[in-house]
Each structure stands twice: as C-alpha cells, then as structure tokens.
Amino acid sequence: MKNLTVLALLVLLVSCQQPTKEVVPEIIGYDISEGVKAPLFAGDLANVQVWEQYIKAHNEKDLQTIQSLNAEKGFKVKGAKGKVFKSSEEHLNFLKNWFESDANPKWTTNFLIANTFTTKEGVVKQWVTSGHNLSLLVEGDTLKLNQVHDALIVNGKVQEFSVNERIVSE
C-alpha cells in the first residue's frame, strides 16, 4: 500500500509540472539595408571585446595588433569623408602615415552595442555599433569629432566597418 501511495504521489508531481516555455529572442531594432525590414537581435558580447581591442590598438598606434584583428580576405573600410579602403594593407598604410603625423588621434569610447541579424539569403551577421569622441591636432589646434562606427565582426576578426562623424561644437 505504501508503494502505491508513493507511486501515486510521484505520478501526480510529474503530471503537475509546467511545460517549459520556448525562449524567443527579443527584437531590439531593424536593419533595412537590403530593402527588407529584417529584425535585429542582441549580439554576442565577444564581438564588443574585439572592437574594444581594435580601438585600443588604434590609440596605442599598434599596427601589428590592428593587422592581426583585420580579416585577411574581403576587408573593407568606408571612411567618413568617402574614402574606401579595400584591403587591410591599404588601411594599414593610411594609419601608418596618420600615426606618424602630428595629428595624434585619440578615441574615447561612449557606447558599444552588439547586434545580429540574418540576411534574406540566411547569412547571420554580427555587428558592433559604437560611439566615440575623437580628438586630433590640426595645425596646432585640437579638433574634436564625434564618430559612430558600424563594424562587422566575423570569426573574431574585423571584416568591414564604416565611420560617420561630425565636428563637436562647444
């Protein structure tokens, strides 16, 4: 009798368990770059770490680290003034000249947002959108810019990024 009571209680407990709910990722925005409104979801924070390391390497003028973080194939940069770099080598040559000049660029990060979306072809893309203050010397005066970067991170490497900027007015 005792065994039947225990068995009945066990069956009752198992049958009273609530079914687990399916976890549905929350939409944090939309990408419309392909002409289709595709949902954006929170991305992998490991990509934020890659971008933080990339900005730190720029502040330290560490071309070797920058090169190690650039994708080997298909790397591209869309600069704020319309300049497009179509290879890591082209980008590094520009940075070498800039870092050797009197400009002394320094970035201060304001925000970093990881997001992910799936293209209409089914390709998952991981982006980091970040905001920075950039200060540099121009003819002896400090110029302050506000920049927004959108960086595509693939397998821990910077595949491409774009820079949008405006002059900060005091």
Q: What is the pLDDT of residue 126?
A: 97
Q: What is the pLDDT of residue 1?
A: 59
CA distance 16 to 53: 50
First to last CA, the chain: 85
Q: What is the pLDDT of residue 18?
A: 66
Long-range contacts (CB closer than 8 Å, 24 or more residues apart) made by 87-92: 91/66, 92/63, 92/66, 92/67
Burial of 15 (C-beta count, 10 Å sphere; 0-12/13-18/19+): exposed
Reading the block at residue 31, the tokens are 């990408």
Q: What is the pLDDT of residue 95?
A: 98
Q: What is the pLDDT of residue 22?
A: 79
Can you list the domains of the chain with their CATH numbers? 25-167 (3.10.450.50)
pLDDT in tens, 22-38: 777 889 999 898 788 88
> pTM for this one?
0.84
Q: What is the pLDDT of residue 13?
A: 56
CA distance 151 to 129: 6
Q: What is the pLDDT of residue 169?
A: 79
CA distance 135 to 106: 5
Q: Which residues of the chain have pLDDT under 70?
A: 1-19, 170
Burial of 162 (C-beta count, 10 Å sphere; 0-12/13-18/19+): middle
In DSSP terms, 164 is beta-bridged to 148
Q: What is the pLDDT of residue 33?
A: 82
